[in-house]
Structure 1
Amino acid sequence: MGEQIKFSALGPLTVTVDGASIPLGGARQRTILGLLLVVPGRVVQLDTLVDAVWNSNPPPTARTQVAICVGALRKIFKNAGVEGDVLLTEHPGYVLRTEGHWFDQAEFSELIRTAEAQAQQGSLEDAARSYAEALGLWRGPAFAGVSTQLIDDEAARLEELRLNACDDAAGVELELGRHQELIPTLAAMVRDHPLRERTRYHLMLAQYRSGRRADAMETYRDARTQFIEELGIEPGPDLQELHDAILRDDPSLATPAQPAAERRGTAPAVTVPSELPADVPAFTGRADELAALESLVTASEDAEDTAAAAAGTIGLITGAAGIGKSGLAMRWGYRAAQHFPDGQLFADLRGYDEHHEPATAQDILSRFLRSLGVSGEQIPADVEQRVAMYRSLLTDRRVLIVLDNARSHAQLRPLLPGGGRCCVLVTSREQLEELVTWPPQARVHLGRLSVDEAVSLLTAIVGERRIATARADAVRLAELCDRLPLALRIAGARLASKPHWTVRYLVKRLSDEHRRLDELSQGESQVRAGFALSYRYLPEQAARLLRLLGLLDAPDFTAWAAAALLDGDPMDGAIVVEELVDAQFLEVAGEDPTGQLRYRMHSLVRLYARERALEEEPEPERDGAALRYLRTVLTIAEAADRREDAGTGTGIHSDEARTAVDAGLLEELLAVPLVWYEAERLSLVAAVRQAVRTGQAAIAWDLTVCASIFFGIRNYTEDWRQCCEEALAAAEAAGDLRGQGAMHYGLGALELGRSQLDSATGHFERALRLYTDAGEDHGRAMTLRSLAQGDRLRGDVDLALGRFAEALPIFRQVGDRYCEAHTLSNIAETELDAGRPEAALPSALHAVQLEESRGEDTRNLAQALYRLGRVHGGLGRLQAAEEAFLRAVRIVKEKADMIGLAYTLLGLGETRLAQDDVELAEATLTDALEIAEEARSPMVAGRISMVLGDISWRKGQTEKAQSRMAAARERFQAVGASAWEQRAAKALSGFAAVHR
């Protein structure tokens, strides 16, 4: 079976292989593993897993997602060196294989059975050791961090077994005469579980035997009060009999063992340490984080807070190198010191020290014990004995313990108090999942400072005068430092030490990406060195992914991008990405609308990653990884383009090779293609730019083609223009005629959408020449169709119909049904503009039929329905027209096509006006105008304004009618739509004539 796996559920769910903890992935994978751990070796039904993971409200893909999670867990075990299957598929679900592996629940049960047998045989010392070993397996509440009803029930069962074991162990310890040592533990248990009579019995007996007869009586009185108030009953006969026996000093209560004092030796003197390092100067911001840490004080002071009494209050500050973890710990430590009258202990665990080995528990405990008053000769040599002494000394004290720069939970475990009213604050670059903080809100993750906080920090270091007079430069400087406290302090210190430098001068120096890390890595505080220490401890694959991510221009990404860089599958990519998140090199930007987690890398980390890539990755590896990523983006974008158009691509594509993408991943990403486009918009633009920068002209213009439909629907004109222009320049440099034609066509479509007819025509004419020279008939036909649309808008009906007629047979020849339907619906609209609705009807109906035959509600179908509605309206078939428009409205709303929605509402409003429903028509058209203006589409806004002007005239609102019609004329004039401009001018003249 390879390496033995240790499954630990008595506390946070952890798994170790060969002593090393392995990541278990997200909440769903942890939940599934937890459910299998409830009954290891037995089958857990798939339906049970589904119900538990989704709380009895599973999505349709739940079974598939469970299978994916199980597959991910199998891969995690395999990558950790485990041979053979750990998770087996057995009908009707899955089973966790037990042979050869270690389970702390099973170990706990076996130790308890052993202890019980030893106690029955009179081997009390052996029984005490077995109980202690069993209880020592517990690291917190069972299955902490994983919660479903089945797991909660199992956790409650295990907790009851633990409490029974505690009581049994206490009975053995009392038999051995260790009553004084037991009192703190028993008192904490009573606070946690005030209605457990057996625990109170042991506490009363231990107090009596320790000479604390009054305390024993108080424990009984407290029990009686709680039992009567909460249960309405008196304490049980055992407690009552013990109470009576204490009152009469019954000899049977005497300890059966030798006095504990003979075994303990001399108690150490009590001292009050004060070890916190100096507070951080010019500390800025972090108000929310300081407030969260305040809960530690409240929890440690609250004697009724049973969780804190049992385990102590523990806070954790995590974050990247240089983010200010130690500074926050010191600032809070000094603020909270007054609440810890028994002192403050501090240790730097050196988890990320380049020049020293990590601090050992043995050394730190030795120093802590001396700080607490133990003389050198009294400090045990054995580390376990030191831990026991340390925890005993802290039992009744209120001490603040700050453990800085921890690398692992193993480093911390010996330094945590056993309970009582102490408080521990830990800082780490790791998430330390095994560490259970209490209260939960005391787990604080530090992000970058806000802009105002960053500028305030610079002001505190440099001075108000220099920063206040250069606020914009200071903001830019803060961004160049990633708003990272360490980098800001370095930059501020450089300015403070060089009064002749302006803020703008330092900004100029840092703006050079090749020098920025050098500028921020001078003196003792070095940004690069902080990154290097974390980088050194990364697993091999995580380090490689970090380097390759440094090559990307994308502002954020999902796991599939990481998989493409690594040339692996998405689950492998997700696992490695999470390792970088845990190491603070990446941060989670949130979940995008497709359900994918998005990750981002700050600019300074990106610069460091790029440095590592250039130094450690051979050039062929760098180029190959970047090309895999770009081809993967192209593959997904093309699939999204085809799905959005119901399987028919709308553009001319390159011959660039595609990267195979898992079909299941495509289904997950592209359930709604426009949603994926929206989530990836900035990354798509960055990918086009990166393709241009790296000489991949074909990918650049092909990606732009794939994204054009999205840019058009969502009106991202600036993104569209930038991609077209940059990809056009790359295609020109490469001598790629088809690419040049595609990009001129794209720029023409963009201008046509903005109703800039002259500019659109210029681009289309260049595209037509390029496609003709390249022998690209399909592209020629698409361009002819678009030129015809411009002709129609100018009022040149015959030229438009001629170009449509020339394009139509080419579309049929190449099998482009999308463009065929689109051309037919445009022919119908042109005929309608010419006043020939009967001639328009066959083309309009044919266009709708072609789109309906594709089986999906496409944007093209909405356009065909819009034109069919106009034709029906022209023929006086108003009910059929309204039905067509309403259907089109539903489709464009689903697509979030704002321009399409403006047009379809225009048609609907005109139809309602023709039905003499003036008020409803005006309301519909008012909505349409607002949408058109928001979408910045002057052509449709002008047409809507014309109809609204007519409505105002009908209602006798002369000035309003003139204002609306004048606005329409101005819009038509701005876009060069002369035919429509003339219509508006004619209407205005008519208004004026009547008004006179």
Structure 2
Amino acid sequence: MTDLPLFGDVLQQYVNRSAYTAGQLSRLSGIPKTTIVSWLNGQVQKPQTADGLTQLAKILHLNKQETESLLHAAGHLPHPKRTAVTNSSAPFQAVPKLPYFSGRERLIAQIEATILDAGQENIVCLHGMGGVGKTALAAELAYRLRPSFPDGVLWLEMNRTGPMAALATMAHGYGLDVSPFADVAGRARAVSQLLADKQFLLVLDDVQRSAEIADILPTTPGCTVLITTRRRDLAAAIGGQRFEIRPFSAEEDDALNLFHCLLQRDFDNDEKEALWQIAELLGYLPLALAIAASRLAYEPGWHVADFLARLQQTAVSLDVLTFEDLSVQRSFALSYEQLPAHLQQFLAGLTIFGGHSFTDTAVATVHNLPLIETQDSLRTLHNLSLIQAQAGEADTRYQLHPLLQACVQKLPMPENGRVEAEQNYVRYYLSHVQSDLAAAFQDVALFREALRLAERHKLWSEFLYGLEAAYPALQFSLSPKELERLLQSAESVAERLGQTEVVIWCRLRRVALARHQAAVPTISETLRSLTVLTREPRLARYRPAVCLAKGKTAVSNGNWIAANQYYEEGVHLAQTGSPSPHVLIDLWQAQGNLARWRGQQETAVSLYQQALSLAQQTQDPFRLATLYDHLAWLAIEQDDYDAADAAGTQGMAIAEKMGHRERLAILYNTLAVVRHHQGDWAESQRYQQAGFDYARSLHLKAHAASIAANRGGLAWQKGRVAQAEQFWQESDLLAQQSQDVNNLVNVRLYRAGKYLQAEQYVKSLMQYRAVLAALPPQASRTSCGYGKGSLGIVQSLLGLGQKNAARPYLMASLTAFARVDLPMVAEIRRLALSLQIDLEDIPQF
């Protein structure tokens, strides 16, 4: 009597063939890992039921004969008749598809259409970086396309299979034993004859070199070959269709859907926000997301907020991104460990760019390398999917994935080489920005890092002049706290070096920064110091700039009369002295703004035109674009939408030509309003979205908040109330994140005004109170924000019939606007009389 094979041995044979671990089989089947291990090591020879084995057989892709053999070994079936596998039983060797696979529907549709294109011999190549989900996508395609290939699906894991074994596996699928063929050529001919009349899909997974598959590729017309590889330059795929597989998009819900599939539950808004932040930190890499979701699902004690905090605290430590045999670091190591030593060192050198995009010129300059050699090395790394590339109008920009950045940072780099590279980095970027301001808006993170390194290496000259050149971009992108620290540091250095002009520049920017935070005491003290400094004759050319700062501060404090006096004094000093023409442009623009707010439209146009003429003479594109935006808004307020369109379009053309994406964000918003009034709602929405996307991409949260508020207003006018509320909530959140008090006050005033116009007095009252709450305790009670908020509360309370409650707020608004010559003063007077408030009680009136 022949001894039957042991159950554990039979199962082990099939598990070894699949290359799955016990942990993976447990997750895919739902069978406890300890149970599977006890089966494999022989501790359990006869499972109680056949259900688990049947499930496991499906996951291991056993055919009918193999499944019956497994069940028989476990004692659940009589001994099967030994029958050969015939061609009528089409093989299906694909690995199990992921039960949590999600997303990529458009890409799958494109690949399916390519593969099913009748009458063509297809080679389809999926290429991309490690961990991006190429194998998972190929498995999903194999299952979906199975009915289209009547002769089966063959699957070869090329990272662990040589040509001889691969050909044997292909032949085994159709019951042919090719072991008598001891050489590759003979075995390949036998397999080719076997497959000559078959219509099948062959998946070659994780191909590293074309030589690996040269003898495997079928030449039969009924075969489609699907290749997955990390190489973009795989010669075997030449002539075939290529699809680059990238991380999930931040604009779609694929990442969130993956979390949902693995955690098997819905999320509240706070959890969704935390999951989006986790996805962003992980660079939307599917493998990393699956590991994070698995840890949240299967490890005790994790909450979404806790996992996010761990990632943030450890700067995305790769140790966190390991679960069972899944590891982001091991996935990446397969790529970079095969590089020669000089390319490993070159790759490590790219980490100096902090995961941000860079050009070949930047790399060559920072690391003192020949440009041609640098370009060749970058192309090699790109072909291996170790860096990403995006072709621009001027040059190609490269970037490391953030997780690969963290991984590669561990590669050795000589300390003296790093110091020299960091100093070169400082000099390259901080000199570059002085000749190309648009670059600062595009690469603000790189310039911020250059300033940090300049401080670290005490490159004070580069630090001071780099900060001044990059500040127009930095002021929109950095937090007020970070800007204040940079300015204080620069001021301290300039004082030590005796560079009084730089001290003045720093203090003027600190005044503007404090004004946005409504920090009145700080502003007054700094303005006094500037007045003293500029009394010195050699520094007299800075007096117009000080007048400009005083005027803008007076506007913020609600004293428009004083503001106009400061502006007039500044213009006089600028026209009789020798300051920068930029200051005179800014003074005329500020006067124009003040005239516009007072309702003096003709005066505003004249002042803007004067500023525009000088900006054209001095070829100042940034100020030109800004002035055209102001002229567009002036025309909108006068219902002259053709003039608004012309001005906005001119500003847009200048901003596009110079690459000023910050101005583009603003001008898209302006033209969206114009298109709305012209009745082109679809174009208006397109412009709104474009402006918002620009602002978000540049991390300009204050800009994005203003645009979102305006989008809410336009939706409100179209009767889309729910959409408007959503935009306004987003606007408020962005304004808070911007830490710009004036911005927060303005977006709340805008929203409250819409409620007030619609006579929704409860909502308007809440919003106007939120305006006052946004102002810090030290804010001036004469500021415009305080006055407008108080007046709005009055109007809301009167709408609710609460006349007595409105009286103190009307007194507050009267006090705030006493020194402002505004058209709304007449409205305040009317309200005061209706509430029987004697205006004589307000001396300023």
TM-score, normalised by the number of residues in structure 1: 0.50
CA distance in 2, matches of 1:550, 1:895: 35
Change (3 A) 1:885 1:523: closer
1:625 is aligned to 2:421: yes
* Separation of aligned partners in 2, 1:462 and 1:864: 52
SS at match of 2:325: coil
Residue matched to 1:745: 508
Change in CA separation of 1:517 and 1:420 when aligned onto 2, cut-off 3 Å: same
Structure 1 counterpart of 2:138: 329
- 2:126 match: 317
Distance 2:505 2:463 in 1: 11
* Residue 795 of structure 1 pairs with residue 561 of structure 2: yes
Q: Does the CA-based 8 Å contact 2:263-2:297 persist in structure 1?
A: yes
* CA-to-aligned-CA distance 1:213-256 (integer Å, 9 cap, x gap): xxxxxxxxxxxxxxxxxxxxxxxxxxxxxxxxxxxxxxxxxxxx
Aligned residue number for residue 578 of structure 2: 811
Question: 2:626·2:651 contact (CA, 8 Å) conserved in 1?
Answer: yes
Change (3 A) 1:391 1:843: closer
In structure 2, the CA distance between the partners of 1:394 and 1:446, relative to structure 1 (3 Å rule), is: farther
Contact 1:365 1:390 in 2 (8 A): yes
Judge conservation of contact 1:688–1:700 (CA < 8 Å) in 2: yes
Q: 1:780 to 1:462 in 2, by over 3 A?
A: same
Give me the whole-angstrom Cα distance separating, in 1, the residues matched to 2:745 and 2:300.
Answer: 57
**CA pair 512-696 structure 1, distance change in 2 beyond 3 A:** farther
Q: What is the rounded CA distance, in whole Å, between the counterparts of 2:646 and 2:296 in structure 1? A: 64
Task: Indicate whether 1:680 and 2:443 are aligned.
Answer: yes
- Structure 2 match to 1:527: 328
SS at match of 1:415: coil
Q: Name 2:191's counterpart in structure 1.
A: 390
- Taking a change above 3 Å as real, the CA distance of residues 767 and 574 of structure 1, as seen in their structure-2 partners, is farther
Partner of 2:490: 731
Q: Distance in 1 between matches of 2:86 and 2:647?
A: 86
**Equivalent pair of 1:349/1:406 in contact (CA under 8 Å):** yes
CA shift at 1:535, angstroms?
A: 0.8
Query: How do 1:39-118 residues align onto structure 2 when only pairs under 5 Å count?
Result: none
Task: Tell me which of 143, 166, 172 is aligned to 1:364.
Answer: 166
Letter in 2 for 1:811: S
Q: Residue 415 in 1 paired to residue 216 in 2?
A: yes
Secondary structure of 2:231's partner? coil
- The alpha-carbon deviation at position 606 of structure 1 amounts to 1.7
Query: Residue 247 of structure 2 is aligned with which of 438, 447, 472?
Result: 447
Distance 1:269 1:774, change over 3 A: farther
Is 1:859 matched with 2:620?
A: no
| Residue aligning to 1:605 | 404
1:34-82 Cα offsets, whole Å, 9 max, x none, are xxxxxxxxxxxxxxxxxxxxxxxxxxxxxxxxxxxxxxxxxxxxxxxxx
User: Any conservation in 2 of the 1:323–1:486 contact (CA below 8 Å)?
Assistant: yes
- What's the CA shift for 1:528? 1.3
Partner in structure 2 of residue 264 of structure 1: none
Change (3 A) 1:976 1:541: farther
Contact kept, 8 Å, 2:386 with 2:400, in 1: the verdict is yes
Q: Is the 2:429–2:446 Cα contact (8 Å) retained in structure 1?
A: no
Over residues 818-872 of structure 1, what are the superposed CA-to-partner deviations in whole Å (9 max), with x where a residue is unaligned?
44666688899999999xxxx99999999888656546777369869999xx9xx
CA contact (8 A) 2:133 2:287 kept: yes
- Once the two structures are TM-superposed, the CA of residue 481 in structure 1 deviates from its matched residue by 4.0
Contact 1:557 / 1:599 at 8 angstroms: preserved in 2? yes
User: Is 2:83 aligned against 1:283?
Assistant: no
Kindly provide the amino acid, as one letter, of the partner of residue 744 in structure 1: R
Q: Distance in 2 between matches of 1:562 and 1:331?
A: 39
* 1:379 maps onto 2:181 in alignment: yes
In 2, Cα distance between the equivalents of 1:495 and 1:899? 38
Provide the TM-score with structure 2 as the length reference.
0.57
Rounded to whole Å, the distance in 1 between the matches of 2:285 and 2:230 is 14
* 2:125–2:237 Cα contact (<8 Å) kept: no
Is 1:401 the counterpart of 2:225? The answer is no
Kept in 2, the 8 Å contact 1:824–1:847? The answer is yes
Greater mean deviation of Cα atoms: 522-531 or 571-580: 571-580
1:985 to 817, 825, 834: 825
Amino acid at match of 1:406: V
Cα distance in 1 for partners of 2:547, 2:238 equals: 68
SS at match of 2:202: strand
What is residue 638 of structure 1 aligned with on the other side? 434
Q: CA deviation at 1:503?
A: 4.1
Q: What's the counterpart of residue 63 of structure 1?
A: none
For structure 2, which runs of at least 5 residues remain unmatched after alignment?
1-84, 635-642, 656-662, 672-708, 714-730, 736-741, 751-786, 793-811, 837-845
Q: Deviations over 1:416-475 (max 9, x none)?
A: 1113201222111112453447873x7352423777544444455455499999555544
RMSD over aligned Cα atoms:
6.0
Whole-angstrom CA distance in 2 between matches of 1:598 and 1:367: 43
**Aligned in 2, Cα 1:513/1:809: closer, same or farther, shift over 3 Å?**
farther
Q: How does 1:654-665 map to 2 (within 5 A)?
A: none
Corresponding residue SS for 2:436: helix
1:745 is displaced (CA, Å) by: 1.6
Deviation, 1:789, is: 5.8
Query: What is the CA-CA distance between 1:406 and the residue it aligns to?
Result: 0.4
What secondary structure, in the 3-state scheme, does the structure 2 residue paired with 1:611 have?
A: coil
Mapped contact 1:394–1:420 kept (Cα < 8 A): no
Q: Report the Cα distance in structure 2 between the residues aligned to 1:432 and 1:505, rounded to whole angstroms.
A: 42
Report the AA paired with residue 434 of structure 1. Answer: A
Other structure's SS at 1:316 match? strand
Matches within 5 A, 1:796-945: 796=562, 801-802=568-569, 811=578, 816-819=580-583, 853-854=617-618, 859=623, 892=651, 894-895=653-654
CA–CA separation in structure 2 for the residues paired with 1:467 and 1:850: 54
Check 1:774–1:634 CA distance in 2 against 1; reply closer, same or farther (3 A cut).
Answer: farther
**Contact conserved, 1:566 with 1:625, CA < 8 A, in 2?**
yes
User: Are 2:588 and 2:608, in contact at CA under 8 Å, matched by a contact in 1?
Assistant: yes
Q: Is the 8 A contact 1:320 1:585 kept in 2?
A: yes
Aligned equivalents of 2:534, 2:547: Cα separation in 1: 11
Matched, 1:295 2:113: yes
Residue 683 of structure 2 is matched in structure 1 by: none
Spell out, residue by residue over 1:858-889, the C-alpha distance to the aligned partner (whole angstroms, 9 max, x if none): 7369869999xx9xxxxxxxxxxxxx999987
CA deviation digits over 1:168-217, x for unaligned, max 9? Answer: xxxxxxxxxxxxxxxxxxxxxxxxxxxxxxxxxxxxxxxxxxxxxxxxxx
1:15-37 deviation digits (Å, cap 9, x = unpaired):
xxxxxxxxxxxxxxxxxxxxxxx
